[in-house]
Structure 1
Amino acid sequence: MDKKPASPLITLLESLVPRDRARITAVTIGPELGYTGQRTFHNAAQALNWLNPHHHSANYVSESWRDKRFQKRLGIDDLARCAQVPDQIIAEWNRRNPTGR
């Protein structure tokens, strides 16, 4: 069985509740978030589905875009630099993650 995709961005997006992923819009995935090139998604839910789809696959498209050397732990502020994240979501995420990462 093939390994599911994993990255600091996937970890961050999975730390958000589905409702919040739908409210985070204009998500641009690029080098700042650990991926080569740039891809823009309507919301974080769509971005996560591209990064780590629900279906099993022999090849995940996002893996060919992932910078395997990128190991920086990402926080909500990193995402906010590449997406429109409502202030309430930032505050709630920071409250749940007091270290900011």
Structure 2
Amino acid sequence: MLSPMTTYVAYLVFRITRDSWGLSTSGKTIVSFGGVRNQTTNVYLQQPHARGRPHAHVHAQGPRNDGWMEIELGEFYCDDGDECEVEMGFQEIMNIKEALL
């Protein structure tokens, strides 16, 4: 049961180790609640570089005070506190990823 008249925000919280690879391919975030589905594209777990500069379409991510990284998956508004299914996720097509916590 969610609190009525409240906006919720979902985050993916993660760490990347020094020997990571396969994490700089763009993905998308999804948050679905009460039949409303929000999706964001061009999201990266690890920022890719093109000719020494950051990629132009990188979704903001940031380090937290505890050393973990976070990416906002999206937000949803609970109008009347009904019990509804919430779906949250990060989707990216790549065969192998390494060093993602």
TM range (shorter): 0.3 to 0.5
Q: Name which one, 1 or 2, has greater alpha-carbon Rg.
A: 2
The structure where helix makes up a greater share of residues is 1
The structure where strand makes up a greater share of residues is 2
